[in-house]
Structure 1
Amino acid sequence: MKIENLDFYYFSGTGNTLLIVKKMVEIFEKYGIKVNLFKIEDSNSNEINLNHTIGLGFPIAELSTYDFVWNFIKDLPQTDNTDIFMVDTLGGFSGGIVGPVREIVKKKGYHPIGAKEIIMPSNIFYIPDKSTTKKKIAKGLIEAERYANSIIKGESNWGRVPLLSDGVYYISRTALKLTHSNLSQKYFCLDVDKEKCNKCGWCVELCPIKNIQIGKDRFPVNLRNCCYCLRCTSFCPKKAISAPFNFKGKTYRAVKTEEFLKFNQKII
């Protein structure tokens, strides 16, 4: 297997997946592979180039991943042996993603060539100290480099544990539904602190599911359909949006706000 053209579709919430994808792209390009980057939230599954190798990158949420990422994967077109790989980032355990995604793409005619889950700093509930964060990121980037090299050499694989992965997948789907429930959206709402907000509107631009809009007073308004990717809390330049379920409302970001915004603008 020789990869010449790679279309890498990814989503990053707080920046962990962005770092992993950037490192993998660096390795791919080092070997002369042409890489095209696409943001999952802005992409149409039916418009992918089936003559290119397809890469998927995303964070874990509720033991699998976000609904809009699932929808992108499930809407992939039928093909005849198009190579595809995935990488996800997580703080601990998933269980409901690698196997189920493999089954979906296999049934659509894709050739699964690799799957990798990479531990990165936690961005929810408890934010680790800077030293721990730095070490985890460094280790994660090493794993990303190794994984990219294994894909290039044809040594990567995409396994599956049927009963475990299928069971965790259904648990995950239930948890995702609870996340979007009225109760969850009411008590864990990521509202803006108007005393800190400078009305820049970046949270509106960054929200992957258009859950934030500008109100009549020019302040951002949460529409109560949040998927809790935590982009708005992480990259608000004024730290005007905190996470109520995080310890002391702390936020986490893997890269500086300016770098994240610049990178996302570049591939829009």
Structure 2
Amino acid sequence: MINDKIDFYYFSGTGNTYLVVHKMKEVWEKHGLKVNLFPLENSNPEKINLNNVIGLGFPVAEQSTYHFVWDFIKRLPESPGTAIFMVDTMGSFSGGIVGPLKKLLTGKGYHPLGACEIIMPSNIFYIAPEKKCQEKIEKGLLKAEHYALSLLKGTARWGRVPLISDAMYLASIFGLALTRSRINQNLLPLTTYYDLCQKCRICVKLCPVGNRKIEKNEYPQHGLKCEYCLRCASFCPYNAIKCPFNYKGKTYKAVEARVFLERK
């Protein structure tokens, strides 16, 4: 049950997790709770307040989540029983995050309150028409609202299926390593089209791992540590960055770029 201050650490790629986290915050604030939101990519996990309830929110990637999100979680300090919950957003399914994350956190001494996975519009491979995306967003936010209330009431659950989830986690780690390999980074870069680019630097500011660089008046350069969160492609105001594996080069975003820029 949540009845105290909440520190909610989250990462959002193209806006789905952002919407879910803010919906949950809205629900809790209506019930008089104090909720602090922290962009996970800008936060130090070793300095979290163990006296507050901790929330973790992130998108699913490679059936679990991004390498830098895992790194944040693994660097969390040992706890004397701090209450913690998680929520993720996904296009279809995961399998390698809920169970392994519970195992990791309980091993550090945290008290798991609940876990919830919410289907939202996909931002990769095939981008659905806007109407379909909006319908999914509405259903997803309704689920987020119900989950927030279940955490308030103490009825949320955090299950674990050991063998299946552990196997999916190992497959995810392999997939993440392959994605981050130099071969993959060279073969599937997010390409900047200089005839469209206006050097606005939004992509540089939004990259959570500092993979995009720009020097003086040059065009932004794509490095070799991309985790394919697709922020840069989705929020480029000039549509100058193309994702090589999205159908017809379409992009998806749930919110406007200024949302991410304003919270820095």
TM range, smaller chain: over 0.9
Corresponding residue of 1:255: 255
- Verify the 8 A CA contact 2:58 2:65 in the aligned structure 1: yes
- Verify the 8 A CA contact 2:2 2:53 in the aligned structure 1: no
Corresponding residue of 1:107: 107
Task: Report Cα offsets for 1:122-181 as digits up to 9, x if no partner.
Answer: 110000111110110000000000000000111101010000000000000000011011
Deviation at 1:257, TM superposition (A): 2.5
TM-score, normalised by the number of residues in structure 1? 0.96
Corresponding residue of 1:174: 174
The 3-state SS of whatever aligns with 2:228 is coil
1:213-228 superposed matches below 5 A: 213-228=213-228
Deviation at 1:218, TM superposition (A): 2.3
Task: Report Cα offsets for 1:208-266 as digits up to 9, x if no partner.
Answer: 000010035421001121000000001111111011100011111011233x23xx523
Corresponding residue of 2:190: 190
Q: Where do 5+ consecutive residues of structure 1 fail to align?
A: none
1:77-156 superposed matches below 5 A: 77-156=77-156
Aligned amino acid, residue 233 of structure 1: A
Corresponding residue of 2:74: 74
Aligned amino acid, residue 68 of structure 1: F
The 3-state SS of whatever aligns with 1:7 is strand
- Verify the 8 A CA contact 1:4 1:32 in the aligned structure 2: no
Aligned amino acid, residue 126 of structure 2: Y
Corresponding residue of 2:235: 235
Deviation at 1:76, TM superposition (A): 0.7
Corresponding residue of 1:265: 262
Corresponding residue of 1:13: 13
Change (3 A) 1:171 1:2: closer
TM-score, normalised by the number of residues in structure 2? 0.98
Corresponding residue of 1:202: 202
Distance 1:44 1:184 in 2: 29
Corresponding residue of 1:47: 47
CA RMSD of aligned residues (A): 1.0
Q: Where do 5+ consecutive residues of structure 2 fail to align?
A: none
Aligned amino acid, residue 113 of structure 2: I
Tell which deviates more after alignment, 27-36 or 1-10: 1-10
Runs of 4+ in 1 over 6 A off after TM superposition: none
Change (3 A) 1:2 1:65: closer
Deviation at 1:40, TM superposition (A): 0.8
Distance 1:248 1:82 in 2: 46
Corresponding residue of 2:164: 164
Distance 1:105 1:149 in 2: 23
Number of equivalent positions: 264
The 3-state SS of whatever aligns with 1:24 is helix
Deviation at 1:188, TM superposition (A): 1.1
